[in-house]
Amino acid sequence: MPELPEVETVRRVLMTDLNGLTILEIESNYEAMVDEDFKGFKDKLIGKSFKDIHRRGKFLIFELEDIFLISHLRMEGKFFYQRKEEPLNKHIHMVFHLSNGYDLRYQDTRKFGRMVTKTKEQLNTTEPLNHLGPDANGNVTVEYLLSKLKNRQIPIKEALLNQEIISGLGNIYVDEVLFTSGINPMKKSSDISIVDAKNILQNAKMILDKAIVYKGTTIRSYTSSLGVKGGYQDFLNVHTKTICPVCGKNITKIRVGGRGTYYCENCQK
DNA sequence: GTTGACACCTGGACGC
DNA sequence: TGCGTCCAGGTGTCAA
C-alpha cells in the first residue's frame, strides 16, 4: 500500500513524463472516486497543462495552471503513463487523455482511491489538506510531537498512523519505526518520553529517506505504481517477519487499531 | 476534543 | 472444482 516513499517515487517519475502536457479529455467508469460533481471535475481540468507535481504526506498534488488535482492512492491506487492504443484493464477507473497521444491512467483494484480539485486558495484551507500534519521525514520537532501525544490515551502506533499528527507513515513504516526505536506499539501515547519522541522522529526520517532511495516497499501481491518495483522490502526488520533480526526471538503479531501489527516483545518494551 | 465502530471495496487464502 | 467466508487496510463519517 502506498505510503510516503511510494507516493514520492510516483511523484518523481510522473513529473518528468507529464510536465507541459495538456489534458484533452477525461473518462471514468467509476465516477464515485471523485469527491465532487464529475462534470465539474472534468470542466475544471480539460484544457489545463501540467506545471508541477507536489506531495504532502501520502497525497499527490498535480498543479495544472490555476487548478490543483489532489489524489490519494489509498490501498492499491496506481498511475500509469501509457500510449492510448494500449489496452485498458478492468481496474483502470480514470483515464486522462493527453496532448502527446499518451494517457495518464489511474488503476485501483479496490476502488479506495480518491481525487478532488481545489483552487490555490482552497488548497490549504479545505479538506483534505487543511488538517494534515507535517511530513514525518520533515522538520518535526520533539516538542511538537509530544504536544500532540500528551493528552492521548491511544496506543502510540495508532497515534503515528493519525495523519493529523504527522503525515506519511502507514502500517508498514510505523511498525519499522517503532521496532528501530525499541518502543512497544501498545505503549500509551501520553507515556511517550522525550527520548522516545526523539528516537521516533530520527528513525522515521532515516527509514523514510532510505525507502525513498529504494523506491518504496513492494510486499504481498502489491506492485508499485508505474510498474516500478520498490526495493525497501529487503530492509524490513519486523513487518511480516517471524524472527527478530536483533535477538532471534519470535516476532509477535497482534491487532492495534484494527491493523495487523508486528513487534518483538523482547526488544520493544 | 477524543475514541471506537463501521463503511467503502475486491482479490486471495482457506475450509468444506 | 466450486462456493462461501474471512482478511487485508487508509481514510471519512458518525455516535458516544
Catalytic residue check, A120: no
**Mean per-residue pLDDT for A134-157?**
92
pLDDT at A125: 86
Catalytic residue check, A3: yes
**Mean per-residue pLDDT for A207-219?**
87
- CA-to-CA distance for A9 and A203, rounded, in angstroms? 20
Which of A69, A57, A80, A81 minimizes the C-alpha distance to A6? A57
pLDDT at A258: 83
pLDDT over 70 for what percent of chain A?
A: 96
Protein CA A227 to sugar C1' C2 (Å): 33
Question: Which tens digit of pLDDT belongs to each residue from A48-104?
Answer: 999 999 999 999 999 999 999 999 999 889 999 999 999 888 889 999 999 999 999
Q: Strand C and chain A: which residues 81-140 have CB closer than 7 Å?
A: 110, 112, 127-128
Instruction: Indicate if the pLDDT at residue A195 is higher than 90.
Output: yes
pLDDT at A217: 83
Question: Which tens digit of pLDDT belongs to each residue from A8-57?
Answer: 999 999 999 999 999 999 999 999 899 999 999 999 999 999 999 999 99
Protein CA A247 to sugar C1' C10 (Å): 32
pLDDT over 90 for what percent of chain A?
A: 67
> Pick the residue with more confidence: A219 or A158?
A158
**Mean per-residue pLDDT for A175-196?**
93
Give me chain A's average pLDDT, please. 90
Question: Residue A234 — pLDDT band, cuts 50, 70, 90?
Answer: confident
Protein CA A120 to sugar C1' B14 (Å): 50
pLDDT at A222: 46
- CA-to-CA distance for A191 and A233, rounded, in angstroms? 31
pTM recorded for the entire structure: 0.94
Q: Which nucleotide is nearest to A150 (CA to C1')?
A: B2
Which structural domains are found in chain A, ordered by start? 4-123 (3.20.190.10), 142-263 (1.10.8.50)
Which of A4, A1, A13, A2 minimizes the C-alpha distance to A140? A4
Does the CB of A55 sit below 7 A from strand C?
no
Residues 6+ apart with CB under 8 A from A110: A74, A75, A76
Cβ pair A227, A81 in contact under 8 A: no
Instruction: Indicate if the pLDDT at residue A221 is higher than 70.
Output: no
What's the Rg (C-alpha) of chain A? 20
Q: Hunting for cell 501489527 — which residue is that?
A: A261
Catalytic residue check, A58: yes
